[in-house]
Amino acid sequence: MARAVEEQHDQVDAVTDAVLTASRLLVAVSARSIAAVDASISIAQFRLLVVLFSRGAQKVTTLAQALGVNPSTATRTIDRLLDRDLVDRQPNPESRREMRISLTSAGKRVVRDATRRRRAEIAAIVERMPATHQRGLVRALNAFSVAGGEPPAAASPYEVDETDWA
């Protein structure tokens, strides 16, 4: 029994180290794609834009929760993006005391352009991988994203079988 627990711990450590290494690459790819579109946008600001792009207009508190930050931090980020006309702030029709944040057309364009660049760079990396590793990576990353609560970017030809990682 203790051996099984130790092996499980070793597996978690190995996967964690691999994900950390891959995350360095992905952060670098993301930073390059954002800088190519607008060098003045930080990764944190871009993340806020992506949340709005994928989830639609949000209350500030809901947006802060999705980003894992305090509402005051989200508000400061929103203010910076408002100044650049990337987001819009309007009273919530359901409660005039609350504000709803949405993307402007310029904000949508930034997300689309940066994502297109990031996708092209990632595709070039994936093309250098053997096909068998590509299939395994799709399943593993989809399971990882689901476990982390991240909505999928697009439908995949490789379905995530939750029984494989439950």
State the total domains in the chain: 1
pLDDT digits (tens, 9 = 90+) for 140-161: 998 998 898 876 665 433 333 3
- Is 156 part of a structural domain of the chain? no
Q: How far apart are CA 58 and CA 99, in angstroms?
A: 8
Total-model pTM = 0.77
* Segments forming the whole domain that contains residue 83: 27-149
- Is 19 part of a structural domain of the chain? no
Has residue 162 got a pLDDT over 60?
A: no
- Is 32 part of a structural domain of the chain? yes
Q: What is the pLDDT of residue 154?
A: 56
Mean pLDDT of all residues belonging to the chain? 88
For 71, the enclosing helix (H) or strand (E) is helix 71-83
Q: What is the CATH number of the domain that holds 59?
A: 1.10.10.10
Residues 128, 132, 134, 136: is their CA dihedral positive or negative? negative
- Is 8 part of a structural domain of the chain? no
Q: What is the pLDDT of residue 4?
A: 75
Q: What is the pLDDT of residue 9?
A: 77
- Is 9 part of a structural domain of the chain? no
- Residues 30 and 111: beta-carbon distance below 8 Å: no
pLDDT digits (tens, 9 = 90+) for 89-106: 999 888 878 899 999 999
